[in-house]
Structure 1
Amino acid sequence: MLSPRNRMRHSSEFGTVMRSGRRSSRDTLGVIYLSPPASTPVPGDGPAPPRVGFIVSKAVGGAVVRKRVQRRLRHLMRSRLGDLPDGSLLVVRAKPSSSTARNEELAVQLDSAIAAAKRPKSASRRRRGRGRTRPPADPENGGAEGNRRPQAAGERWTSR
């Protein structure tokens, strides 16, 4: 069981994480992670602990099944709180296949999703094209040659 200090309970916290958090998804669950703000801490206040929230929709199953999945995820997250920085927010979203997954499988996928969501974006991981440049635009046909529609009934589509 997670302590009350480590649980997200307000919809405003969930909304903030869902809007601006980093997402990572696996077969049985998805994770949305929001790193702690870079603001200066208030003197006298200790660092805010990491907080975790769970979303288990009706697509997962009935009330008993949903509660069982939530308890299993809560139990798995309890040992992983030390890996999260103070002040961070994490939402774990269960997918329908999480109700039939074994605990070991859930643990592996949870670790993988959290690691991927915490990983900073880098320029080298951006998707790039194959190195081809687009053909020059043909003003007569309204753009690139490979993208034009056939004009006559017997004319075929052109390929690049």
Structure 2
Amino acid sequence: MLPRAARLHESADFRRVTRSGVRAGRPTLVVHAARGTGSQSRVGFVVSKAVGGAVVRNRVKRRLRHLVAQELAASSSAQDVVVRALPGSATTPSRLEADLTSAWAQAKHRLSPGPSPVSS
């Protein structure tokens, strides 16, 4: 379970992360990430009805919360992240962990500052 301080709640925060952040997509999910506004990373989840009925959506959210808690423990910088589940997350749950780990790493890499240009 993610603590309350580690969750995104406001729709404005979801909108900011999805529109102005970086994106990394996989067959089962899409990870949107932006620089955090606070001192701690926060995560929000979007699981639409396209994924399935209420039981299926809640199962997918529980799996994602569990996997994201592991990623947050390993994360050092403050980021705001939105994880959007795709319909494949319900039909191929075995891929969920690998897809999340891969997309999370790619989004984190895209957020990190690149090497500064060398002037001659």
Q: Which category of TM-score, normalised to the shorter sequence, fits these structures?
A: 0.7 to 0.9
Residue 61 of structure 2 is aligned to residue 70 of structure 1: yes
Residue 84 of structure 2 is aligned to residue 117 of structure 1: no
- Larger gyration radius, structure 1 or structure 2: 1
Residue 88 of structure 2 is aligned to residue 97 of structure 1: yes
**Amino acid across the alignment from 2:22:** R
Task: Quote how far apart the aligned CAs of 1:84 are.
Answer: 2.9
Aligned mates of 1:12, 1:102 — CA distance in 2: 30
Which structure dedicates a bigger proportion of its chain to helix?
A: 2
Residue 41 of structure 2 is aligned to residue 50 of structure 1: yes
Task: Quote how far apart the aligned CAs of 1:95 are.
Answer: 0.3
| 1:1-160 to 2 correspondences below 5 Å | 1-36=1-36, 48-103=39-94, 105-120=95-110
Task: Quote how far apart the aligned CAs of 1:101 are.
Answer: 2.0
Residues 85/19 of structure 1: CA separation in 2 closer, same or farther (3 Å cut):
farther
What stretches of structure 2 of length at least 5 have no aligned partner?
A: 116-120
RMSD across aligned C-alpha pairs, in angstroms?
Answer: 1.9
SS for the counterpart of 1:79 is helix
Task: Give the aligned partner of residue 128 of structure 1.
Answer: none
| Larger RCO (CA under 8 A, 6+ residues apart) | 2
Task: Quote how far apart the aligned CAs of 1:86 are.
Answer: 4.1
What stretches of structure 1 of length at least 5 have no aligned partner?
A: 38-46, 124-160
2:2–2:69 contact (8 Å) kept in structure 1:
yes
Aligned mates of 2:91, 2:19 — CA distance in 1: 29
Q: TM-score scaled to structure 1, two decimals?
A: 0.65
Which structure dedicates a bigger proportion of its chain to strand?
A: 2
Counting matched residue pairs gives: 113
Identity across the alignment (%): 46
Q: TM-score scaled to structure 2, two decimals?
A: 0.85
2:9–2:44 contact (8 Å) kept in structure 1:
yes
